[in-house]
Chain A
């Protein structure tokens, strides 16, 4: 910063002086050529960075994105008040989670009776339209979170419920029974609470203080519906 200030003036001495100290009495007359170079080191570094990602191997690109997704998974599993999920949002994680959850909720409907479980498209639509509705709701209530940041947070916080679905499917391999049901109920309830707490930790700060409950309730309803879909799944 100091170099940008000193380069147009050739009358200032090169001795170190506090920033902006003599700014008020700099006046450049018209016949004094003003020349120099204002270089901001960060920008050149960024340009280097951009061109180099084109030349790197595909493996590097994929690993970088996977690492970002994995880091966000860790943030969801141990929710602290941090801005990492909000700052660099991405939608890869929510997509992976949503597709795996919808695939696991598929029932092998051999007889094709009506009134079966949710189809893949229904689960997909519920998750994405539910997340969009919650985001629009929180923006209408006056929250200052952007659209995709909110989608990112809600999508990533489905991770505990996807884990619950996996555990439920494994438990169901052992055969139905009341103990089976109690285990599944316990797992789903714990994961539901984890999801709600994780998403509230990220989203609640963006709301005005007297409307937090109004913004959190739809999140609660959203994860409740998904937990219900998981709990009532029978193979």
Chain B
């Protein structure tokens, strides 16, 4: 109580001083003074940013408003906060868009709409790294139940390796792609290349499909694992190709095909690497080849051609 009175007294004193100087000024009570007393207040650019803006329809208006705001320097906190300016609904919408690619349905134009975020790529990569480690651990547990002679250990170093690999992939490959597209920019008049953040966003969200796939790879049936892997790779790579197609189609035919096939190849390598670290390329673990398959499934697997 006394604290509130103290604060009110100070405000009133300042207000009376100002009033005596400019008698016709408009006085408003700024409630954020109270907030900044107790918390470290994070100044969000301007008040337009998340209050009223979300109510307007996304369209030219939002693009205009964003261009009018001055860009803060990269050493300020606000600069990085502008990359996290997304809502739950937007993130979910972007994830859905990456899961179901359609030809002609450009992820960047349709879902990102000039507001790329870093939340999605960062946390999808983190989730994928942890899911890989957890699933790897689970396969080892299941293997030990079949064959008690295997020495079980939590294999914690897998988290580190998986994390580093995935983060490098999700950040260095878009960097290389963005650099390459900018270098070839002179060949193109129709559409400028994507910014670095948009490329990182596209790659980050395209990795989302691998999270349920990795969990489904626990099922020890080998042809099913290949099926899931192929399905995930197709969806993910298709999303990337459909997004990149409008940018590279202006380019010469050999360069375009080389670029797209490199992108798909790198993605396939990542998928195979994940599968290898978990269940081995040919259905076994790193320890022993066919210990994952329960005894009654083995005859069924050998019956399938080509497995």
- A interface residue numbers (CB < 8 A to B): 1, 4, 20, 23, 40, 42, 87, 113-118, 122, 137, 139-147, 149, 208, 210-214, 217-218, 221, 224-225, 228-229, 232-234
Contact = CB atoms under 8 A, between A and B. Distances in A.
11 contacts: A1-B5, A23-B16, A114-B157, A122-B156, A139-B42, A142-B42, A142-B50, A146-B40, A221-B126, A221-B127, A233-B154
Interface of B: 2, 5-6, 9, 12, 16, 35, 38-42, 44, 50, 54, 77, 80-81, 83-89, 91, 119, 123, 126-127, 130, 134, 137, 141, 151-158
Contact of A117 (B5, B35, B89, B153): B153
A210 B12 contact: no
A233 B130 CA distance: 17
B276 to A, nearest CB: 16
Most chain B CB inside 10 Å of its own CB: which residue of A137, A139, A144: A144
Contacts of A147: 40
A210 B156 contact: no
B36 to A, nearest CB: 10
Contacts of B89: 210
A213 B90 CA distance: 12
A116 B152 contact: no
A178 to B, nearest CB: 9
Contact of B154 (A117, A141, A211): A117
B156 A116 contact: yes
Contact of B39 (A4, A42, A144): A144
A217 B154 contact: no
A137 B87 CA distance: 13
A225 B42 contact: no
A27 to B, nearest CB: 10
B81 A210 contact: no
The 10 A-B residue pairs whose C-beta atoms are closest, nearest first, are: A140-B84, A146-B40, A213-B88, A210-B87, A118-B156, A115-B155, A232-B154, A117-B154, A115-B153, A141-B84
A210 B6 CA distance: 35
B41 A221 contact: no
Contacts of B9: 1, 4
Contacts of A210: 54, 87-89
A109 B115 CA distance: 50
